Amino acid sequence: MNEKEKLLIIQNYLDEILPDAGCELTYSSDYGFLISVMLSAQCTDKKVNAVTEPFFAKYKSLKEVDELSIEEVEKLIKSLGLYKNKAKNIKGITHDLITKFDGKVPEDKEKLTSLPGVGNKTANVVRAELFKIPEFPVDTHVERVSKRLGLVNENDDVLKIEKKLQKLFDEKNWIKLHHQFIHFGRYFCKAISPKCDECKLRGICKKTSQK
């Protein structure tokens, strides 16, 4: 099997089992989505949604969120990991959006990553979801799936993985594949107890080939 055939098998299987994979974070505003993505670091989307849905239902504008004290923000997101640092990021993000970007989330990556708590991955997710700019964000699920399928090397960091995946797959499919890799890693190719026996990719998976 050559590389082209392997990539086609992967894409066809993901299209078969995850044809409608998409973002699982709920949001109703651009800044709300940006904050949700930032909050999702080392935390599940489900937990983030449980916090942000009542948060943004109560504080309906960027100005209202900006006017909250750091202590109020901490109390609202206390159930999330690293909540103290994330509360500071929320305050910094809202302040910068208002004072530097006219209250709108910028699509430029350099401007996005200038915001507190917004790194490369968060910026890529925001660009892909809000602006439909082709990106292939790499989270823990994308990293695990990519390594198990032999698309990247075991010692590759997230930036190397991102560049390799962008080179392997057609740009028009990056956003869809990003979501499919996440869902595949979250529900099938899990870190613990992956569903290998029922997976049609087990023949090319490094994990199953090592058993």
- In angstroms, the CA 3 to CA 123 distance is 30
CB–CB of 178/18 below 8 Å? no
Selected catalytic residue, list 30, 45, 66, 139: 139
Query: What residue has token string 């996005």?
Result: 112
- Residue 175, C-beta contacts closer than 8 angstroms, at least 6 positions apart: 128, 132, 134, 135, 136
Give whole-number Cα distances, 170 to 58, 84, 167, 174, in Å.
Answer: 42, 40, 8, 7
Q: Is 15 a catalytic residue?
A: no
Question: Of the candidates 202, 179, 193, 200, which has an alpha carbon nearest to the alpha carbon of residue 21?
Answer: 179
The DSSP code sequence of 90-123 is HHHHHHHHHHHSTTS----HHHHTTSTT--HHHH
Query: What is the distance between the alpha carbons of residues 159 and 172, in angstroms, rounded to a whole number?
Result: 20
139 included as an active-site residue: yes
Per annotation, catalytic residue among 86, 91, 121, 176: 121
Instruction: Supply the residues annotated as catalytic.
Output: 121, 139
